[in-house]
Amino acid sequence: MRTPTSDDISGGLDPLNGDHSGVFAPELGEFPNAEQRAGESTAQETKTGTTTVGLKTEDGVVLATDMRASLGYMVSSKDVQKVEEIHPTGALTIAGSVSAAQSLIRSIRAEVRLYESRRGEDMSMQALSTLLGNFLRSGAFYVVQPILGGVDEEGPHIYSIDPAGSILEEEYTVTGSGSQYALGVLEQEYSDDLSIEEAKRIAAHAVESALERDLASGNGINICVVTEDGVEITQHKEIEDLL
C-alpha cells in the first residue's frame, strides 16, 4: 500500500489560507483521486445500462433486473445475471460498471464469510448495508449503484445504496438507466401487503415497462426471491410468463 504524501492529505492547500476542508483526508479505505478515476472511464468500458427493481413483502423480498450489457452503443451481452447471492439470505443487484460490480460482489462475499467464521452467526442486513456503503464510499468500486435485499431476524429489508455510499432503507426502489419507467409502475401497483407471487408480477411489469423504452435495458428478466429459507434466482427470456 502506498503511503500518502502531504499533498494527498492536504490537497496542496496553504495551511494558513483558512481552507481546512482536507484536514481529515484521506479517510480509512479512501482511494486517492477516486472522482478523477470515475470521470476518466471511457465509452469502451462494459456497462450494464440496466433496470433493477427491489420490493419488500411480508414474507421476503423480490429483486428483478434486465439481462443486457452494453459497450458504448453496442449490446455486448444478452445474458447477464445482474443479481447475485452475497449472503445466505441476501442478494445484490448491480447497475453501472461491470468490472467494478464483479469486484464488489467478490469482496462482499469474502467479508460475509469472514464474519460468519469469526462470530459464528450470519451478518445482519443493517451491518451488510453499512459494509456496502463503506466499500462504495472508498472510491474503489466507482460507478456502481446496487440494491440490497435480504431477510434477517428483524424481517425483510430493501436498501438503495448510491455510488457515493449513502444508504436508504425503502419499501421499494429502482436503479439504472430505465429506473424512471419502472418507478412509475411501482408507484401505481405497490402495496405493503403483497405476497411473494404478487411482488414477482409487479417487479416483472416494472422491468418490462423499462424494456419498452430504455435502449440500455432488454433481453429478458432475472427474478430473485429472498426469504428466511434462502435465495432463489431464475432467468426468464419470455417475460409474458411472469405477467
User: Of residues 165 and 40, which shows the higher confidence score?
Assistant: 165
Q: Residue 80: which residues within 8 A CB-CB, separation 6 or more?
A: 48, 67, 68, 69, 98
Q: What is the pLDDT of residue 218?
A: 87
CB atoms within 10 A of CB 49: 23
Q: Residue 73: which residues within 8 A CB-CB, separation 6 or more?
A: 43
User: Of residues 30 and 182, which shows the higher confidence score?
Assistant: 182
To the question of pTM greater than 0.85 for the whole model, the response is no
Q: Which is nearest to 243 in space by CA: 205, 207, 199, 217?
A: 205
CA dihedral 30, 32, 36, 39 (to 10 degrees): -40
Q: Given 48, 50, 57, 173, which residue is catalytic?
A: 50
Question: 73-88, pLDDT tens digit by residue?
Answer: 788 889 999 999 999 9
| Catalytic residue flag (residue 50) | yes
Q: What is the pLDDT of residue 39?
A: 53
Checking if the pLDDT of 4 tops 50, the result is no
For the chain, list the domains and their CATH numbers. Answer: 46-234 (3.60.20.10)
What are the Cα distances from residue 127, in Å, to 5, 87, 141, 152, 163? Answer: 32, 12, 19, 11, 18
Q: What is the mean pLDDT of the chain?
A: 84
What does the pLDDT average to over 79-102? 94
Question: 19-44, pLDDT tens digit by residue?
Answer: 544 543 444 445 555 555 545 544 44
Contact criterion met (CB below 8 Å) for 224 and 231? yes
Question: 203-231, pLDDT tens digit by residue?
Answer: 999 999 999 888 888 889 999 999 999 99
C-alpha cell at position 159: 436498501
What does the pLDDT average to over 108-124? 96
Contact criterion met (CB below 8 Å) for 53 and 65? yes
